[in-house]
Amino acid sequence: MTGISIEEVESKVINTFLDILRNGLVDIKTPSRNTKYWIRSQVKVSESTPGLNKRTRVKSSSTPGFPQVVVCDFFETRELRTMKSDNYQCKFKTYYVLTIRILDKGSSAQTGKLAGSVQKVLFNNINTLQDNYIYDLSFSNVPLPGYSTDNMDLNERQIICKFKVAINYASI
């Protein structure tokens, strides 16, 4: 068991979640809609230099249409030193939080349905997540107050995913 190195953890976790959602989710209104556009990341991470990952914010106006599923705000909460053993190269599991925003216009019930299907897709792909060193996934589905932009009123829901990631500190 090797784990993920600390430099690539953010980009790898975000890309894993994006791949799972893009393969599993379908827009009910227009099933032929390209998932690349409506399931997206708010932050783009490039691993140009190790330890100094470049993070750029993707502008929301570049993606057309609603509903949208936005993967954003990945951060560490605390370290759990349970895997310190000579048998494992991986020494730590670290707690992380990832936020998935679900934005839609129209009725708030549609946003709730989409949030439920996002949770179902993630539960069904637990084996894929564990292959990418993500463990003990738990969700909280939070309805948030809507807000208005120049053109429309938006409903928002957030799924806050808490999980542990096996980090390989051996290379440091």
Partner 1 sequence: MPQFNITVTKNLSNLNKLTKNIQSDTLSKSAANAFVTRIKQAINQRASFPSGELSKSIKSLRHGDSSSYGVTGLYYYWYANYGRRPGNPPGKKVKKIDAWASRAGMKGKSLRQHIAVYGTHKLLFHEVAKKLFKVDKPRIYKQLFK
Task: Catalog residues that contact partner 1 under the rule CB under 8 A.
Answer: 42, 57, 59-61, 72-73, 75, 99, 101, 140, 142, 144-145, 147-150, 158, 160
Given a contact cutoff of 8 angstroms between Cβ atoms, the answer to whether 71 and 41 are in contact is yes
Q: Give which of 98, 111, 110, 96 is closest to 156, Cα–Cα.
A: 111
Q: Report the nearest approach of partner 1 to the CB of residue 146 (Å).
A: 8
Residue with tokens 């500190």: 169
Q: Which is nearer to partner 1, 58 or 121 (CB)?
A: 58
Least distance CB 108 / partner 1 (angstroms): 14
Assess contact for 171 and 5: CB atoms under 8 A. Answer: yes
Min separation Cβ 3 and partner 1, Å: 26
Tell the smallest beta-carbon distance from residue 24 to partner 1 (Å). 24
Q: Which is nearer to partner 1, 87 or 140 (CB)?
A: 140
What whole-number distance in Å separates Cα of residue 115 and Cα of residue 104?
Answer: 11
Residue 67 CA to its chain's centroid (Å): 17
DSSP 3-state of 95: strand
How do 39-41 and 68-80 pair as beta strands? parallel
Torsion over CA: 55, 60, 63, 68 (sign): positive
Pick the closer one to partner 1 by CB: 161 or 166.
161
Give the nearer residue to partner 1 in terms of CB position, either 34 or 149: 149
Nearest approach, Cβ of residue 97 and partner 1 (Å): 8
Reading the block at residue 101, the tokens are: 């925003």
Residue closer to partner 1 (CB basis): 37 or 75:
75
